[in-house]
Amino acid sequence: MDLSETLSGMPAAEALAGLPDAWHWSPNPRFHFTAALAADGKHAFQVNTLDSYDPELVTALLAYARAHTDQLLGDPRPLVALPGFSAAGRDVDTAAVAAPRAHTYHARENAALHALTYAVFPGWHYEFSGTETDEQALFQVSHPQGLRATSLDRQPSPFLTMRFDNPRTQGGSIGPDRGLTKAAVLFRELELLEGVEGGFVEFENFRHQVWRATWSGSFVLTGQGERQELERDGLLRFAEAALT
């Protein structure tokens, strides 16, 4: 496949100002697609956006990914976070790159192009663990409840896995493994744990640090070789700080 010909031939595609071998096309006012050849000329990096488009940010993302082509193509992980990225007017600090198996760009209309395309989006370092499974990476990049990778105006969503059991509410996770969730869910379940003997909330952050909260007259938090007794507000402050 001639990627240059394929990408430049997208409907109404135009060359991207400021970056050679890169093109932008927009099928309607809500969607913007921008792709650039990787340094090897045999793969592509692509930024898809919905209801937001910032040419300078998108150009910077694609240029950053291209500069790391060898690293990205040689990395077997489905989702790679490149630290050190910055863009004017944005507080992001990471360029995230998803391998073909972790995104759906072109998957329906052009399987061959999909197999050569890496999805790129901006983020924050604490959103990525570096050990995401294929299933987790696909969820984070492509599911509406994931990181919302196509929104340039999204808020940070810290990497968080959790499992819990609450005998009072009858709520709990299924199985022994922690599952991806949002910070709001963690904070809610920690609050609901108050006064519940025999319940627990266990959570892991992007650093792979694991804590377990239980109730025994007060909140008891264990993890990283430590044990703390905390009031509700202190526990919630700890959990919030642990995620970033």
Q: For the segment 174-213, what is each residue's pLDDT rounded down to a tens digit?
A: 999 999 999 999 999 999 999 999 999 999 999 999 999 9
pLDDT tens digits along 24-54: 999 999 999 999 999 999 999 999 999 999 9
Q: For tokens 């809500």, name the residue.
A: 30
Question: Where do we find the tokens 């703390």?
Answer: 228
Q: Is the pTM of this model over 0.75?
A: yes
pLDDT score, position 216: 97
What whole-number distance in Å separates Cα of residue 112 and Cα of residue 57? 27
Task: Taking the CA atoms of 94, 97, 103 and 105 in sequence, report the sign of the dihedral they define.
Answer: positive
Q: Tell me how far apart the alpha carbons of residues 4 and 7 are, in angstroms, rounded to a whole number.
A: 5
Contact 94, 125 (CB under 8 A): yes
Q: pLDDT 10s per residue in the chain (244 long)?
A: 999 999 999 999 999 999 999 999 999 999 999 999 999 999 999 999 999 999 999 999 999 999 999 999 999 999 999 999 999 999 999 999 999 999 999 999 999 999 999 999 999 999 999 999 999 999 999 999 999 999 999 999 999 999 999 999 999 999 999 999 999 999 999 999 999 999 999 999 999 999 999 999 999 999 999 999 999 999 999 999 999 9
Residue-level pLDDT at 15? 98
What was the pLDDT predicted at 49? Answer: 98
- Alpha-carbon gap, residue 139 to 133, rounded angstroms: 10
> What's the confidence (pLDDT) of residue 229?
98
- In 68-148, where does DSSP find H-type helix? 69-73, 111-114, 134-142
Lookup: tokens for 30: 């809500």
Nearest residue to 38 via CA among 11, 65, 61, 57: 65
**pLDDT at 17 (0 to 100):** 95
